[in-house]
Amino acid sequence: MRLTEKVHHILRNHLHEGDQAIDATAGNGYDTIFLAEQVGLSGKVIAIDIQDSAIRLTGEKLDSTGLIDRVKLVTDDHATALGKLIGASREKIAAITFNLGYLPGSDKRIQTNAESTKEALAASIQLLSPGGCLSVTAYRGHSGGTAEAETVEAFMRKSQCEGHAVDCFEPESSNSPPILWLLKKS
Ligand SMILES: C[S@@+](CC[C@H](N)C(=O)[O-])C[C@H]1O[C@@H](n2cnc3c(N)ncnc32)[C@H](O)[C@@H]1O
């Protein structure tokens, strides 16, 4: 099973009608569409991406699938956008997903980075409801990817020490495979 499928499998069992969820890296919109389907008509998804083109593409896909009304689209850095949400949505979010790196087929220089990802993860813990789920898929094959993956690992190890349940999945490969971290808030 690919890591993206694993995330969807886990969140399919976790999310319910009426929940609120966040896609912190909307990209081509696949994860946003998945989250919007899971939270149902009465749920809400916030989809964030730093690239306006990604947000527009995600919006078009949501429009054509009839899911647009349950999704708020935000063009911004995820650390900034999540930080702004804390006031109104503290401990209200059932799931937050991060699929780090760059958008395949797009400008590879526009990629997530360790500093802003670290800040975004810290904000995510405050936004998650008790029992809420955080998924982070990190890629190590591109420049900056290894440093970012190490930052995610440090965050997850610290969170585990603080009492949150943390799991890690790493496909067997000799060639810097992506790594998936899952956190369930205590
Ligand atoms: C691997 S793609 C995400 C794929 C997406 N989840 C999907 O289903 O298609 C990573 C995305 O992160 C976005 N990104 C890069 N830096 C970012 C930042 N600081 N804040 C938010 N998004 C960022 C990129 O523009 C890119 O679209």
CATH number of the domain where residue 41 is located: 3.40.50.150
101 lines ligand 1 (CB under 6 A): yes
Task: Determine the Cα–Cα distance for residues 165 and 167; give it in Å rounded to an integer.
Answer: 7
Domain count, the chain: 1
Q: Residue 51's pLDDT band (boundaries 50, 70, 90)?
A: very high
> What pLDDT, in 10s, does the model give residues 121-148?
999 999 999 999 999 999 998 889 999 9
Q: Which residue has the tokens 């808030």?
A: 185
Q: How crowded is residue 185: how many other Cβ atoms within 10 Å of its Cβ?
A: 22
125 Cα distance to chain centroid: 12
Q: Using an 8 Å Cβ cutoff, are 20 and 43 in contact?
A: yes
37 lines ligand 1 (CB under 6 A): no
Nearest ligand 1 atom to alpha carbon 111? 15
Domain span at residue 97?
A: 3-184
User: Which residue, by CA, sits nearest to atom 12 of ligand 1?
Assistant: 25
> What pLDDT, in 10s, does the model give residues 87-126?
999 999 999 999 999 998 889 999 999 999 999 999 999 9
Q: Is the pLDDT of residue 174 over 80?
A: no
Nearest ligand 1 atom to alpha carbon 139? 1
54 lines ligand 1 (CB under 6 A): yes
The neighbouring-strand residues paired with 138 are: 179
41 CA to centre of ligand 1 in angstroms:
25
Q: Supply the pLDDT for residue 175.
A: 84
User: Which residue, by CA, sits nearest to atom 18 of ligand 1?
Assistant: 77
169 lines ligand 1 (CB under 6 A): no
Q: From the CA atom positions of the chain, what is the Rg in Å?
A: 15
Mean pLDDT estimate for the chain = 96
The neighbouring-strand residues paired with 167 are: 182
116 lines ligand 1 (CB under 6 A): yes
Q: Residue 173's pLDDT band (boundaries 50, 70, 90)?
A: confident
Q: Supply the pLDDT for residue 172.
A: 85
Residue 144, helix vs strand vs coil: coil
Q: Supply the pLDDT for residue 19.
A: 98
Residue 33, helix vs strand vs coil: helix
Task: Determine the Cα–Cα distance for residues 99 and 97; give it in Å rounded to an integer.
Answer: 7
175 CA to centre of ligand 1 in angstroms:
22
Top pLDDT among 135 and 175 is at 135
> What pLDDT, in 10s, does the model give residues 38-50?
999 999 999 999 9
The Cα-based distances of 67 to 49, 63, 128 in angstroms read 18, 6, 23
The Cα-based distances of 162 to 102, 133, 165 in angstroms read 31, 15, 9
Nearest in space to 142 (alpha carbons), one of 178, 115, 106 = 178
Task: Determine the Cα–Cα distance for residues 186 and 176; give it in Å rounded to an integer.
Answer: 31
Q: Residue 12's pLDDT band (boundaries 50, 70, 90)?
A: very high
Torsion (CA) 151, 170, 178, 40 in degrees, nearest 10: -90
41 lines ligand 1 (CB under 6 A): no
Tally the residues of the chain.
186
Q: Supply the pLDDT for residue 176.
A: 86
112 lines ligand 1 (CB under 6 A): yes
Q: Supply the pLDDT for residue 141.
A: 87
